[in-house]
Amino acid sequence: MNRRDFIQQAALTTIGPALSRLPVAAAPDYTLRIVPTTLEIGPKIEIRTTAYNGQVPGPILRVKENSPVTIDVTNATEVPEIVHWHGLANGTIPDGAVEEGSPIIAAGATLRYRFTPKPAGTRWYHTHAMAMDDLSRATYSGQYGFLLVEGNSPVPAYDQEVNLAIHHWNPSFVPMVETMRAESANAPQTSGSDVGYQYATINAHMLGAGEPLRVKPGQRVLMRLLNASATENVLVALPGHTFRVIAMDGNPVPNPRSVEVLSLAVAERIDAIVEMNNPGIWVLGSTIAAERAKGLGLVVEYANASGKPVWRDPAAADWDYSSFASARPVPDPAEIFILTFRDAGALDNSKFDTWTINGDAWPKVKPLMVDAGKRYRLTFRNASGDQHPMHLHRHSFEVVRIGEKSLSGLVKDVINVMPLQTVSVDFLADNPGAALLHCHQQLHMDYGFMQIIQYTAS
């Protein structure tokens, strides 16, 4: 059974009971409608996609930590859909992953999601459908938006806030890069495909299209950046300025610090304060010229400034998660799970590669069993030439080791594991029920790169 068959079977067995629980009289806090949409991302450049309420990103949802919320989602498309509330400590039913038992939303149906949002911070919502070889579906589409959970902890002072979601458009399959394979620990393959893109946007527009971000000298701007692309990790900079990183994946970092370049793997978020102290007209965008040419950028315009937008290449620098962390000792885990990732090549006459964890591809995997209340360590061993942004549902984790470097206090829900790198994260088993662990690159997730963590019976 492949992932498409698994989800189709889940739709048949779960949609009826879930929809029967939808109250008719009570009004929801928010309403989302999944609809076919046409976006004009640049002059005479239109994208046909699917989006929430016909806009990209979808509506910003602001909720209070620990205050129950209801969200009605109507699927006005012709295919089954599902919404994942990324970064929340949800139950399995509202989490939005069929692999955990969450219900599918049938074409034309409405489903009410009920949950109590926590923890506070920059979360987001997006489809958790599979795409397989249909690159118009799942996270290749425009189905994503910010979910901001407001808590009681103080936030550094700022004068303006902006929410910036990065996305790549017009995907197509391209041959797998052979040089990437040569650097990996995999046996050489001659088949398989990757995904390439024609355009990129910040929010709904390419660089130079749409309105600029208008600022004033002396302002402190809180920028929430989200990488909502299906498969592309990104590096972004704002020449002449620095980003003071205060949170990652919505969680405050132990060591806020300023950097010139931000690295965001697929599904990662960064909250940063930018002091507007260099008047002019600048390009906030990818550090890679080819990506800016696709549109990955935004014009930042100071009041009373004139001229063309300026880009300057930042100094080369490696992205180092540990620089935002602390170095205090961490408790010993109850158990360590060592998970090795490999590209198994194109199996069963498929033109797409299958990804495995410890030799198994979803859905033929054995769950990792945990006991409630205990601390566990996941050690990710990347034996491939790809980067893998690893996401754990319904839990946050503490990054405790990257290569030979120990660290602590950096709490995330996505960690990017570089080629041939080993990374360890600890999580507290405090949210019983199935929890999905997967690479957030859509192509990898669709073709096997998933694992279930399951709690033992109490």
- Partner residues linked to 197 by β-bridges: 171
pLDDT at 143: 98
Domains and CATH numbers, the chain: 3-150 (2.60.40.420), 160-319 (2.60.40.420), 335-455 (2.60.40.420)
> Tell me: the pLDDT tens digits for 253-278?
999 999 999 999 999 999 999 999 99
What average pLDDT does the segment 431-439 reach? 98
Q: Minimal CA–CA distance to 279: which of 214, 352, 347, 356?
A: 214
Residue 324 is which amino acid?
Answer: F
What average pLDDT does the segment 307-316 reach? 96
Task: With cut-offs at 50, 70 and 90, classify the pLDDT of residue 393.
Answer: very high
> Tell me: the pLDDT tens digits for 349-391?
666 889 999 999 999 999 999 999 999 999 999 999 999 999 9
Q: How many CB atoms lie within 10 A of CB 67?
A: 12
CA dihedral 439→442→443→447, nearest 10 degrees, is 60
What are the E-state strand segments in 55-103? 61-64, 69-75, 83-86
pLDDT at 183 over 70: no
Task: With cut-offs at 50, 70 and 90, classify the pLDDT of residue 85.
Answer: very high
What average pLDDT does the segment 71-78 reach? 98
What average pLDDT does the segment 428-457 reach? 97
Q: Minimal CA–CA distance to 366: which of 441, 447, 458, 437?
A: 437
pLDDT at 1 over 70: no
Q: Minimal CA–CA distance to 421: which of 401, 399, 403, 398?
A: 403
Average pLDDT, the chain: 92
pLDDT at 83 over 70: yes
Return the percentage of the chain with pLDDT > 90, whole number: 86
Task: With cut-offs at 50, 70 and 90, classify the pLDDT of residue 344.
Answer: confident
Q: Which of 148-157, 195-204, 291-300 has the lowest mean pLDDT?
A: 148-157
CA–CA gap between residue 41 and residue 183 (Å, rounded): 36
For the record, the structure tokens of 71 come out as 């969200």
**Please, are residues 412 and 248 in contact by the beta-carbon 8 Å criterion?**
yes
pLDDT at 14: 43
Task: With cut-offs at 50, 70 and 90, classify the pLDDT of residue 288.
Answer: very high
pLDDT at 68 over 60: yes
Residue 37 is which amino acid?
Answer: T
**Please, are residues 252 and 246 in contact by the beta-carbon 8 Å criterion?**
yes
What average pLDDT does the segment 219-236 reach? 98
> Tell me: the pLDDT tens digits for 126-139?
999 999 999 999 99
pLDDT at 348 over 70: no
**Please, are residues 195 and 172 in contact by the beta-carbon 8 Å criterion?**
yes
Query: Helices marked H in 281-320 — which ranges?
Result: 289-294
pLDDT at 87 over 80: yes
pLDDT at 116 over 70: yes
| Locus of tokens 């971000």 | 213
pLDDT at 231: 96
- Partner residues linked to 416 by β-bridges: 389
Q: Minimal CA–CA distance to 342: which of 377, 379, 380?
A: 380
pLDDT at 192: 54
pTM reported for the whole predicted model:
0.92
CA–CA gap between residue 356 and residue 433 (Å, rounded): 23
